[in-house]
Structure 1
Amino acid sequence: MNSHDLLPVHTGTVIEDDSLTLEQLCHACGVHADWVISLVEESIIEPEGDDIHLWRFSGTCLVRVRSALRLQHDLGVNLAGIALALDLMEELENLRTQLKIMGHD
């Protein structure tokens, strides 16, 4: 693997002003709808709405899809592994936040 094979890492704060349709999410992440649907089926992301044609995705879903894409592309992680890795990363971030609040930087 060389530097041309790696996807860029984007960081920032997610602002929840609006939600994305399935098409918008796919376009923003450069992926096919089938792949996003498989992420929903694995509970990696959770859309709002019951009908696939009316699904809406939050900014948090956008971040998780991009992270999932990096895990799959860069490390070859399968969907079950992606779900576990993202959950563990989220839990670690929550624990770090709690430590900062408690004053244990």
Structure 2
Amino acid sequence: MNSHHLLPVHTGTVIEDDKLTLGQLCHACGVHADWVISLVEESIIEPQEGDEMHLWRFSGASLVRVRSALRLQRDLGVNLAGIALALDLIEELEQLRTRLKIMGHD
């Protein structure tokens, strides 16, 4: 086979399948554990596993939500209740856009 026809292989990690500990989530987002715990208490994110804090495991979706929450708080000064509302509305909007796209209404 001619090397001119080879395509590069890209590797990466699918974050939806990864489970992150509280420490890993904090490190990945550059935040303190207390802040992430506040997000859990406000139901902005939910541990996917573990009843006790030291056993908590978070999904890749939680990583995305924590980073979004951080931007809302840092850039716009939104409080935790506002962050919860904003992220839920953004998620609902994305779901509606997906449904419209499936129905053929771009």
TM-score, normalising length from structure 1?
0.85
Alignment partners' CA distance in 1, 2:73 and 2:15: 25
> Which has the higher relative contact order, 1 or 2, with Cα contacts under 8 A spaced 6 or more apart?
1
| 1:89 and 2:90 aligned | yes
Matches within 5 A, 1:13-28: 15-28=15-28
Matches within 5 A, 1:44-55: 44-47=44-47, 48-55=49-56
Residue type at the aligned position of 1:93: E
Alignment partners' CA distance in 1, 2:104 and 2:30: 40
Contact 2:15 2:59 (C-alpha < 8 Å) held by counterparts: no
Residue type at the aligned position of 1:65: V
Q: How many residues of Structure 1 are paired with residues of Structure 2 in the alignment?
A: 93
Secondary structure of the equivalent of 2:86?
A: helix
Contact 2:16 2:60 (C-alpha < 8 Å) held by counterparts: yes
Residue type at the aligned position of 1:69: L
Please report how far the alpha carbon of residue 66 of structure 1 lies from its aligned counterpart in structure 2 after TM superposition.
0.1
Please report how far the alpha carbon of residue 17 of structure 1 lies from its aligned counterpart in structure 2 after TM superposition.
2.4
Question: Unpaired segments of 5 or more residues in structure 2?
Answer: 1-13
RMSD over aligned Cα atoms: 1.3
Question: Unpaired segments of 5 or more residues in structure 1?
Answer: 1-13
Alignment partners' CA distance in 2, 1:15 and 1:27: 15
Deviations 1:38-87 (A, max 9, x none): 00000000002211000000000000000000000000000000000000
Give structure 1 regions of 4+ aligned residues with deviation exceeding 6 angstroms.
none
| Counterpart in the other structure of 1:5 | none
Q: Structure 1 vs Structure 2: percent identity of aligned residues?
A: 89
Q: Answer with 1 or 2: which has the greater Rg.
A: 2
